[in-house]
Amino acid sequence: MIKKDQIKTKKPKDYWNKRAAIFAIVSIIITWIIGYAINNEAPPDCKMVLPSADFCKPLDNDSFEGVIQNEDRTETIVGWASLNEAPGYAGPVKVMVGIDPAGTVLGTYVTSNSETPNYYERIENEKFLEEFIGLPVISPFKIGEEIEAVTRATVTSNAIAEAVRTASYTIAETQLGLEVETIIEPIKFGAPEIAILGLYLVGYIGHRGNFKYKKQVRWLSLIIGMVYLGFIFNIPVTVANFTSLLLGYFPNWRTNLYWFFLMGGILFVSTVDNKNPYCQWFCPFGAAQECLGAIGGARLWSPGKSIRRNLEWIQRGLAFGAIILGLLMRNPGFSSFEIFGNLFSFTGSWPQWVILVIVLLLSLFIKRPWCNYLCPIDPIMDLVLASHRWIKQEFRKIWQLKNLKKNS
């Protein structure tokens, strides 16, 4: 006879989910520490912005003096270089600026950035950095006046301009003895911010259990999200946004309230309402898939239980791997593998284009194939919601135990 304690019982699904979540959280913390420890940048070569210099002398940690060696062994100063950073969309953008003795910008060079590669390529392709060359050191370097922003890379353009301004003003004050004007960026509140707040409002109304027109309002929200957040503004949520949060990288709130509304709204609604407001209601790429699905009559694919579980863990693994890579490199741009940019801004590598075409074709027959089986956002939000739910349960148990002891 088989004893009761010899019978193997199958672990419940929540058992493995909790352990996977704990493993993910612990791994993220360890990787954050490792990434911080190993990513100590070496000082950049100031000759990138002072090409005529024979060598550079460090003035402090972020400023250098470029000199040439004369035949009589004396030295002549040919300029100064300063390194500074400003918050971009996904993290800090570091820029080195070279200034000649006459107070003119000789060169600019981005030493590191955390932006998604496809979007930063626009900066390089349109030679944005060359626009600063020849400007006086005390110029305001304002986008829209002396400098033109790169289309669909406005936040990165603003970050570079801010870093150039700060670095240039450092040289102007410390080496040239010039007075500089303190420039405070005006708070930017426009169409993107209004659109995201409006979508949250629509989602709040539509989520109400007794709302009669939930289906129609949801479709309206999806279309608006696809058109405005996707094609017009091209600022959907990516895994890089969550990696930025974990790294503590935040864009300038005065010029990028949209980012704070978008990410803050997602986390706030998720913790308060225990629902994911983004993926099902106004994700631009999700909406594009659903539109194609409506044309082709797509249905939710129902594979076998084991296949479904394997696909679920593959999706989680992709999200986990992307975040770990971004934390290890301390660069959120490395963590982004989504194919949104190909559809909404027509940029991306050829493998991304191949995947995009396959996903769009599958969307005609399978409901949201990218969202359900590949997108990293869904498992990230599942982890956020599950962690919040488990924390509430534990606090509830502690509270009940305290009351029990108090009443006994």
Take residue 112 and report the two structure tokens written for it: 């590191």
Last residue of a domain, one of 140, 174, 208: 174
Task: Identify which has the larger pLDDT, 149 or 81.
Answer: 81
Q: Are residues 140 and 205 in the same domain?
A: no
Of the ranges 14-18, 179-183, 187-191, the best mean pLDDT one? 187-191
pLDDT in tens, 373-406: 999 998 998 888 888 788 888 788 788 777 777 7
Take residue 320 and report the two structure tokens written for it: 């986990």
Mean pLDDT to the nearest integer, 207-217: 83
From residue 186, alpha-carbon distances to 84, 142, 183, 189, 192 in Å are: 21, 11, 9, 9, 16
Quick check: is 335 in a domain?
A: yes
Note the pTM of the prediction, 2 decimals: 0.86
Split into its structural domains, the chain has a count of 2
The least confident of 37-46, 177-186, 241-250 is 37-46
Structural domain span for residue 381: 191-395
Quick check: is 8 in a domain?
A: no
- State the DSSP code for 44: P
21 burial level (CB within 10 Å; 0-12, 13-18, 19+):
middle
The pLDDT of residue 13 is 59
Q: Are residues 154 and 206 in the same domain?
A: no
The pLDDT of residue 11 is 57
CA distance 21 to 144: 46
13 burial level (CB within 10 Å; 0-12, 13-18, 19+):
exposed
List the one residue out of 250, 269, 123, 128 whose CA is nearest residue 196: 269
Quick check: is 94 in a domain?
A: yes
Q: Are residues 162 and 202 in the same domain?
A: no
Taking a C-beta distance cutoff of 8 angstroms, is the pair 115, 184 a contact? no
Take residue 102 and report the two structure tokens written for it: 């006459």
List the one residue out of 68, 90, 88 whose CA is nearest residue 77: 68
pLDDT reading at 14 higher than 80: no
Q: Are residues 69 and 131 in the same domain?
A: yes
From residue 129, alpha-carbon distances to 25, 124, 125, 157, 160 in Å are: 39, 8, 10, 9, 8
> What is the biggest distance separating any 2 CA atoms in the chain, rounded to whole angstroms?
101
The pLDDT of residue 44 is 78
Quick check: is 206 in a domain?
A: yes
